[in-house]
Amino acid sequence: MVTRNTPRNSLSDQALRLDNQLCFALYSASLAMTKLYKPLLDELGLTYPQYLALLVLWEQDGVTVSELGDRLNLDSGTLTPLLKRMEAAGLVSRLRDAADERRVLIRLTPEGRQLKARAQRIPGCVLQASQCDVAEAIALTRQVQALRDRLIA
């Protein structure tokens, strides 16, 4: 704790302590979250980025690669190999848009749609592991989203 009698160099020392870094708290929480998701997604045969792509497609099927990239904050160089692997696994199809051949539409296959039912348990598992109630988890999610949006701006 910093008091009035704390020397100034102690304040700067405190600012450089690892446990006082927001970036490290977010980074280590992200690692812990990814570790939590791994066995849950392994049961579905998915990687975490594939799961995120499916979340978007379960909300709205038939989005373009660029729309999917915007939602996931991924560029096409990262997204294209991911989608090719998902297509090879039979989860999605990639089709040229008949109205504009420059655009590629991503659609769920029947297998990709059916996987949603198996994924339904994941949010509950994450909520239980986080030991948050629903309201707390929603509030924390909104805070992190607001921080992300401010950092991007």
Environment class of 57 (CB within 10 Å of its CB; exposed 0-12, middle 13-18, buried 19+): buried
pTM: 0.86
The mean pLDDT of 31-49, rounded to a whole number, is 97
Give pLDDT tens digits for 88-109: 999 999 998 788 888 899 999 9
Residue % of the chain over a pLDDT of 90: 84
Q: Answer whether residue 140 shows pLDDT above 80.
A: yes
User: In this structure, are residues 48 and 42 in contact, taking their beta carbons and an 8 Å threshold?
Assistant: no
Predicted local confidence at residue 138, as pLDDT:
96
CB 62 within 8 A of CB 56: no
